[in-house]
Amino acid sequence: MKRESSQIVIIGILCFLIASSICVQYRSVHTYTTEGKAAVQSMSENKLRDRVLTEQENYNRLYARLQNTQAELEELRKNSAANSGEAKNLEKELSELNKALGYTEVKGKGVIITLRDASEDQINGVADSVVHDWDVLSIVNELFNAGAEAVSVNNQRIISTTAINCAGTVITINNQKVSVPFVIKAIGGDGMYDTVARPYGYYDNLTGRIDAQIEKVDKENGITIPKYAGTRQYKYLQVVE
């Protein structure tokens, strides 16, 4: 009987040791796997972060080069037009054309509209509580329809080829990501304010679900809108002779 009891104790001890060994191995494998996944994810994030920083540096360098080249070109145009009446007229026409196309920084009176997501006490639903790309686009279209001569959103100049699209939690304008608050600046006459702020208009409906504010600026140099920072390429456009 004692012999059988001893065997049972020995078998029990062996089972405990085996179970303990299995648990230790499982924890080791689990820890290794988790840490391995975390390490791989961290490496991937670091590589992506480094690539984004590299691309941003390349963009900043190329953009600075573009700015310098444009400044040199502007100086050459002015110098060449200084001693020629015909050249002066051409320079004036080119300046007006660049202003209309959005290639020149401009200032004037107008309106400033700021759009923010709804606060927590205003939220009725996630979809209705945030500013969407079509909200920004609708306000921009109303401003142009009301006679706006220049419009920008978060310092992105709106021109004829500008696209305003949703990109996850942000909006892309001129292929640049912008986020709330969206500050829409427009230069033009008093009709813009009256059109946008009218009762039951798009802006009026926005104020019921998000935080929207409109400010009228009467000073002639109260609003500054930057020039379009990108480049435009024409692949299919041809001049009719």
Average pLDDT for 137-160: 96
Residues 93 and 111 reside in one and the same domain: no
Token pair belonging to 206: 């926005």
Say whether 81 sits in a helix, a strand or coil. Answer: helix
Q: pLDDT tens across 206-234, in order?
A: 998 899 999 999 998 899 999 998 877 77
Residues 127 and 38 reside in one and the same domain: no
Q: How many residues does the chain have?
A: 241
Q: What pLDDT sits at residue 9?
A: 47
> Does 184 fall in a domain?
yes
Residues 163 and 91 reside in one and the same domain: no
57-71, 87-101, 202-216, range with the lowest pLDDT: 57-71
First to last CA, the chain: 116
Q: What pLDDT sits at residue 222?
A: 93
Give the pTM.
0.66
Write the CATH number for 204.
3.30.70.1880
Count of domains observed in the chain: 2
136 vs 1 pLDDT, higher one: 136
Residues 96 and 17 reside in one and the same domain: yes
194 vs 80 pLDDT, higher one: 194
> Does 235 fall in a domain?
no
- Using CA atoms, how far residue 23 sits from 15, 28, 37, 180, in Å, is 12, 8, 21, 50
> Does 241 fall in a domain?
no
Residues 95 and 131 reside in one and the same domain: no
Residues contacting 165, CB < 8 A, separation 6+:
133, 171, 172
- Residue 80 is part of which domain span? 1-101
Are 184 and 125 a contacting pair, CB within 8 Å?
no
Q: Rounded CA gap, 172 and 164, in Å? A: 6
Residues 3 and 94 reside in one and the same domain: yes
Residues 72 and 114 reside in one and the same domain: no
Token pair belonging to 62: 């190329």
